[in-house]
Amino acid sequence: MFYDLNIPWTSKDDPELARTVAFLGELGYNVIALNQTIAGKIPSKIAGIANLIPENPFPDHPSIRFLRRVTIVLDDPSQNYGLASLSNNFDIVAVRPTDEKLLLQACTSLECDLISLDLSIRHPYHFKYKILGQAISRGIRFEITYSASVNESNARRNLLSNAAALIRATKGKGIVISSEARKAMLCRAPFDVINLATLWGLNQDKGKEAIANGPRAVMIQAKMKRQSFRGVIDVVEGGGVPKSAAKEVAKTTISQKAPMKRKTEAGDNDSTVVGTAKDSLQTAESAKLGGETTLGENSETRPMKKQRKKAAKRALSGDAGVE
């Protein structure tokens, strides 16, 4: 799975954007984030920024998954950016600080998923691990965009020095590489990009991580921020027993009560001990919320109540241990 987290959005009818997306699919990318950049004065109600990108902009590419991303250009340190409310409208929230003070602010306090520095220009300050490390420890990643360097030789020089400095300062951790390509001809295949990353000072493994697992972590973290309970517990659909089969399963579990019990004792840390993963997680969440544990809509599962409760408690303690 390869990710390109930065394709500037123009409009749905733009042939160049459609071609870029088709070309990225041909090159072997699986997930593409369409980016909407907001610069200048931010309106007082930031949540009011409309998402111009439709839910599924290119239905004729079934193999590619599309994300919607917003990039806020930070240029006023006095302004209060309420970025948390933006994440309701967008899949990924990124910021682009324009000076050192704003970079510090972005690293330490702003609620964003990605910091995207413009590396094709010269920066009058050094990147320091003290500042960038704070962002990395909060799970925020740094973005390097390569397409400007393909296009122009001056940008290439700046990118080489800036990317090397950024990689040195972050010790190769928390880097994400994306294209920011406005034309199809500025995109490059994933392994070509990894080779470019080796030129900047990342090794092969870290280069691959910067284009495969790193962006995935950004995507998942943004999703967890948006829809999970305090970014820790999320209800995952799937792995459940179909409704018609639930009755049978309930019967068999009653008859095999003893071995099941032993199993619950054995797998103490495993959250999916008894029943389906979905059920136990749901009970775990409701227990966490302080509500009553409401188990089993249908009467067939009632005999299981005690055991389920036990399992849910175990699952909860397991989660708490992770937390």
Partner 1 sequence: MVRVKQRYLLFTILYPSGPLSTQTQSTSSKTPTESMKFHSPSPQNLTRTTLASIIRSSISTNFGDWGIGQCGSFAVKYFSPATSTGILRITRENYRTLWAALTYIRELCGQPAVIKVVRISGTIVKAELEAVKLAEEAIRRVKREVRVAKSGGAGGGDRKGVAGVFSGGKSGQPATVVDDDEQDQMVVDIVDSENEDDDDE
What is the binding site for partner 1 (CB under 8 A)? Answer: 19, 22-23, 26-27, 150-151, 153, 156, 183-185, 187-189, 191-192, 195-196, 198-199
To partner 1, the closest distance from the beta carbon of 34 in angstroms equals: 18
- Among residues 150 and 224, whose Cβ is nearest to partner 1? 150
To partner 1, the closest distance from the beta carbon of 49 in angstroms equals: 32
What is the 3 state secondary structure string of the chain? Answer: CCEEEEEECCCCCCHHHHHHHHHHHHHCCCEEEEEEEECCCCCCCHHHCCCCCCCCCCCCCCCCEEEEEEEEEECCCCCCCCHHHHHHCCCEEEEEECCHHHHHHHHHCCCCCEEECCCCCCCCCCCCHHHHHHHHHCCCEEEEECHHHHHCHHHHHHHHHHHHHHHHHHCCCCEEEECCCCCHHHCCCHHHHHHHHHHHCCCHHHHHHHHCHHHHHHHHHHHHHHHCECCCECCCCCCCCCHHHHHHHHHHHHHCHHHHHHHHHHCCCCCCCCCCHHHHHHHHHHHHCCCCCCCCCCHHHHHHHHHHHHHHHHHHHHHHHHC
- Among residues 22 and 136, whose Cβ is nearest to partner 1? 22
To partner 1, the closest distance from the beta carbon of 251 in angstroms equals: 47
To partner 1, the closest distance from the beta carbon of 28 in angstroms equals: 9
- Among residues 11 and 153, whose Cβ is nearest to partner 1? 153
- Among residues 109 and 198, whose Cβ is nearest to partner 1? 198
To partner 1, the closest distance from the beta carbon of 153 in angstroms equals: 7
To partner 1, the closest distance from the beta carbon of 172 in angstroms equals: 17
- Among residues 159 and 175, whose Cβ is nearest to partner 1? 159
- Among residues 132 and 202, whose Cβ is nearest to partner 1? 202
